[in-house]
């Protein structure tokens, strides 16, 4: 394995790519009681149309999420979740628009649990009966999500921003779309996307990097697979497909999200720079220490749940911000006023303080094992390493941050999603 020490982080990252294409990243933490492993595939809810062996294939919405649910079933009738739990591990999985990940944390038996993780994720087993049963379970989950204000708020915003990109659709699919999912569809998508060439294994804790590699090489398929091309539809304009969406649900206070489409930087160092520039920009403009946040909070226009972030999926990037607040339009007006001041100048002292804060967050994140594994996997699929963040942060200028905010938050690029309380 290749090792690299990151002095600003105080960590050593071991990396290796197996002959079958699997990328492995391990950060040993001697003396830590817990260890964490994540086996992730570059396959999410938005990857519905793809080219494999020269042919374009279309799949129903919700297949990636459906696969996540069914992968724990083993051919011998056992369930990997139960096996891992019985062995003292705490396992789970998630599916986003861009990635599916299976993971566990444990205090002992790491190698045994890792072997189980690698085996069940690489061993598909589906039957007509089990798929039909899961359609009912996931159908109930979809209906519950549709009744969730957070779910409605988020996807209503994405539908405002995007006219065609599949990121606008629920990762779980719809009750109708999951009825089209069959064992053959699941086997086909597992074959295409769950090959080691399209996956990453990330481990953090009191573990031996060489032992992780040896086990992965022993358990997983040997040959390289074809990494499929994805089709997310034709390019979308910079402006939203629609600018406003309002709905009424059973909420106690008005909730809102506003957002804008960005042009994603190409994978690699450019993507890391955009991610960090966005982090600095959003902390500077509307972070908890910003004058804008303080003013909005003092006027009771936002609550403590207000947050802002950049998100990437399906060849797209977006800025999303919001929370609870009685008057979203006043919040947007205040954002525009803050941007007007930014057009004249940026407070370099405040910028330097935000940069130090961001660096501190990067260093503290090294001890959050689950978040660190997730960052390694997501960043790896985007072509960069999150441990390079401190050096990159030093090179981002106040002018870059100022210009990013002015470009991203132009009034004609912003869409707003609002959920209001039901009126009697």
pLDDT in tens, 8-41: 999 999 999 999 999 999 999 999 999 999 999 9
| Chain CA centroid to CA 141, Å | 20
| Separation of alpha carbons 293 and 302, rounded Å | 8
For β-strands 23-28 and 11-17, DSSP reports them as: antiparallel
333 closest CA partner among 292, 303, 291: 292
Cβ-based neighbours of 80, under 8 Å, separated by 6 or more? 71, 72, 73, 74, 91, 116, 117, 119, 120
Confidence category of residue 226, pLDDT binned at 50, 70, 90 = confident
Query: What pLDDT band is residue 53 in, cutting at 50, 70 and 90?
Result: confident
> Cβ(304)–Cβ(417) under 8 Å?
no
Rg (C-alpha) for the chain, rounded Å, is 22
Burial of 64 (0-12, 13-18, 19+ CB in 10 A): buried
141: left (phi over 0), alpha (psi -120 to 50) or beta: alpha
Separation between Cα atoms, residue 157 and residue 183, nearest integer Å: 33
User: From residue 157, how far is each of 68, 209, 311, 314, 388 by CA, in Å?
Assistant: 26, 42, 13, 16, 32
The DSSP string of 214-249 is: HHHHHHS--S--PPPEE---SPPPSS-S-SEEEEEE
Fold of 2-230: Cytochrome Bc1 Complex; Chain A, domain 1 (3.30.830)
DSSP one-letter code for 167: G
* Domain 244-421, CATH among 3.40.50.300, 3.90.550.10, 2.40.160.50, 3.30.830.10: 3.30.830.10
Q: Are 193 and 228 in contact (CB under 8 A)?
A: yes
| Whether the predicted pLDDT of 95 surpasses 80 | yes
pLDDT, position 239: 96
Q: What is the pLDDT of residue 224?
A: 87
The answer for residues whose C-beta is within 8 angstroms of residue 85's C-beta and 6 or more apart is: 91
Query: Residue 223 pLDDT > 90, yes or no?
Result: no
Domain with CATH 3.30.830.10 in the chain: 2-230, 244-421
Q: Is the pLDDT of residue 225 over 90?
A: no
CA separation for the pair 56, 229 (Å, rounded): 9
Across the range 254-266, mean pLDDT stands at: 97
CA distances from 164 to 152, 174, 238 (A): 18, 17, 13
Q: Helix or strand or coil: residue 294? A: helix
Overall average pLDDT of the 62-72 stretch: 97
Share of the chain above pLDDT 70, in %: 100
Whether residue 381 is predicted with pLDDT greater than 80 in this model: the reply is yes
Average pLDDT of 305-319?
Answer: 96
pLDDT at 314: 93
| pLDDT surpasses 90 at 189 | yes
pLDDT(424) > 80: no
The number of beta carbons lying within 10 Å of the beta carbon of residue 212 is: 25
The residues that are catalytic are: 68
Tokens 């947007």 appear where? 332
Measured CA to CA, the distance from residue 249 to residue 304 in angstroms comes to: 21
- Residue for token pair 């209906």: 143
Mean pLDDT along residues 324-337: 96
Residue with token string 């890792």: 114
Q: Please, what is the average pLDDT of the chain?
A: 96
pLDDT for the residue 15 = 98
Sheet holding 55-58, edge to edge: 55-58, 49-52, 229-230
Low-confidence winner among 21-25, 38-42, 213-217, 223-227 (lowest mean pLDDT): 223-227
């Amino acid at each position: 394995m290749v090792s690299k020490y990151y002095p600003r982080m105080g960590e050593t990252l071991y990396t290796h790519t197996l002959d079958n294409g699997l990328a492995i990243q391990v950060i040993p933490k001697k003396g830590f009681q817990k260890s964490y492993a994540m086996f992730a595939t570059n396959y999410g809810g938005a990857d519905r149309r793809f080219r494999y062996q020269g042919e374009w294939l279309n799949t129903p919405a919700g297949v990636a999420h459906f696969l996540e649910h069914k992968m724990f079933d083993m051919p011998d009738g056992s369930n990997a979740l139960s096996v891992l739990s019985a062995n003292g591990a705490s396992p789970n999985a998630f599916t986003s628009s861009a990635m599916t990940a299976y993971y566990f944390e444990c205090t002992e038996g790491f190698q045994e649990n890792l072997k189980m993780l690698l085996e069940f994720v690489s061993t598909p087993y589906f039957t007509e009966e089990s798929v039909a049963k899961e359609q009912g379970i996931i159908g109930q989950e979809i209906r519950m999500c549709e009744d969730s204000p957070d779910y409605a708020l988020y996807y209503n915003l994405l539908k405002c921003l995007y006219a065609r990109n599949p990121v606008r659709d629920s990762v779980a699919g719809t009750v109708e779309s999951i009825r089209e999912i069959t064992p053959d569809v699941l086997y086909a998508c597992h074959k295409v996307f769950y090959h080691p060439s399209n996956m990453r294994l990330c481990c953090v804790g009191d573990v031996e990097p060489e032992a992780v590699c040896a086990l992965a090489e022993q358990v997983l398929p040997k040959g390289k697979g074809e990494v499929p091309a994805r089709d997310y539809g034709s390019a979308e304009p910079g402006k939203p497909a629609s600018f406003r969406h309002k709905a009424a649900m059973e909420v106690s206070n008005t909730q809102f999200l506003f957002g804008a489409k960005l042009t994603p930087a190409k994978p690699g160092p450019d993507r890391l720079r955009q991610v960090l520039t966005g982090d600095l920009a959003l902390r500077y403009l509307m972070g908890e220490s910003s004058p804008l946040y303080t003013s909005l909070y003092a006027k009771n226009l936002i609550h403590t749940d207000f947050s802002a972030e950049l998100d990437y999926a399906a060849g797209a990037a977006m800025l999303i911000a919001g929370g609870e607040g009685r008057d979203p339009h006043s919040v947007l007006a205040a954002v525009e006023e803050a941007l007007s001041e930014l057009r004249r100048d940026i407070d370099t002292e405040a910028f330097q303080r935000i940069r130090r804060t961001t660096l501190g967050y990067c260093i503290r994140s090294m001890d959050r094992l689950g978040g660190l594994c997730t960052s390694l996997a997501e960043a790896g699929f985007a072509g960069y390493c999150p441990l390079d963040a401190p050096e990159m942060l030093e090179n981002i200028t106040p002018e870059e941050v100022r210009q990013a905010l002015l470009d991203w938050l132009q009034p004609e690029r912003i869409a707003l999603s609002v959920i209001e309380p039901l009126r009697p």
